[in-house]
Amino acid sequence: MTELLSDHLRSVFGCKVYKIALNGGFTCPNRDGTAGTGGCIFCSEGGSGEFAGDPSCSITEQIEQGKKLVADKEKDGKYIAYFQAYTGTYAPVCRLRSLYTEAVEHPDVVALSVATRPDCLPDEVLELLTDINRIKPVWVELGLQTIHERTAEYIRRGYDLSAYDRAVSALRKRNIEVITHMIIGLPGESVDDMLATVRYICASGATGIKLQLLHVLKGTDLETEYIAGRVDVLSEDDYIDILKKCVELIPDNVVIHRMTGDGDKKILVAPLWSRNKKHVWNRIRNEVLRDMS
């Protein structure tokens, strides 16, 4: 049976596990001039880390702050330290070692998760992740978004598909879990294009998949495109339909980590229906997960 993240975490760790989004004070090659300066077309000023901690605080402080956010739900919870903002492996390896080690040494942290790009995993970083994986499980989250080169160019992703394949193979060889992010509703993509991306990810060796609705966020170039009427966003009904088709393709050995967007409501421009997370989640439960077996 296809597994959702919450069930997977309970079966692996034996309890409810929460993710704490951290900010290691990184930047990314799409912003610092290495691959580009404008960033991916959809990426917010905060490097997709709006819910991450304050980078001026230590990792331990950020973890403690993150724990407080779930304190009323869980007193003795366990946590995944999630380096979410920008590119979580884009720093000198000695700095990465110190940040990751501080995170996994926290007694309530059961695993480390690092969001990054496939072209930011040089050998020394892979070795570091392998070392940390011996202490606590490491997950690497890769922002692939699409397998289609024309879309990748349009969103200014800045690397090609072969970089993704190499990264997944290197990580899996080291027994590190790989979670691949894809965006549903990217401009110019048909439903078949999106389903092809799901199929590719599931066959790539990834152990998990995050399906995210395309959000138009304030201050991004995508917002300019949207306001000019050059791109559109999905309706709620279309999203649910596409999601259903995507989920049907996901095999049992690939864990579904997310099925909605997770944008900051304060900077969300469109689609505004996605602000009502409870309603969207109810539809996903009733219409997408109902027949999952």
Cβ proximity to ligand SF4: between 89 and 274 the closer is 89
- Dihedral angle sign, alpha carbons of residues 10, 16, 17, 20: positive
Look up residue 120 and give its amino acid.
C
Write down the H helix ranges in 14-148.
Answer: 59-69, 93-105, 123-135
Look up residue 199 and give its amino acid.
R
180 binds ligand SF4 (CB under 6 A): no
To ligand SF4, the closest distance from the beta carbon of 80 in angstroms equals 19
Question: Residue 205 half-sphere exposure, CB side, CA atoms within 13 Å?
Answer: 16
> Which x/- pattern, by CB under 6 A, does the window 77-116 give for ligand SF4?
---------xx-----------------------------
d(CA 14, CA 4): 15
Please work out the total of residues on this chain that contact ligand SF4, with binding judged by CB under 6 A: 12
> Which x/- pattern, by CB under 6 A, does the window 182-201 give for ligand SF4?
--------------------
H/E segment holding residue 169: helix 161-173
d(CA 101, CA 135): 9
One residue of 5, 22, 40, 209 binding ligand SF4 per CB under 6 A: 40
Report how many helices (DSSP H) and strands (DSSP E) the chain contains, helices first.
10, 9
Residues 48-67 that bind ligand SF4 (CB under 6 A): 48
The first and second tokens of residue 226, run together, are: 């949207």
Region from 41-49, 68-76, 104-112, 177-185 binding ligand SF4, contact rule CB under 6 A: 41-49
21 binds ligand SF4 (CB under 6 A): no
Cβ proximity to ligand SF4: between 17 and 41 the closer is 41
One residue of 5, 9, 17, 47 binding ligand SF4 per CB under 6 A: 47
To ligand SF4, the closest distance from the beta carbon of 27 in angstroms equals 8
Beta bridge partners of 256: 4, 209
**DSSP strand E in 222-279: where?**
255-258, 268-270
Q: Report the interface residues with ligand SF4, using CB under 6 A.
A: 28, 30-31, 39-40, 43, 47-48, 86-87, 117, 143
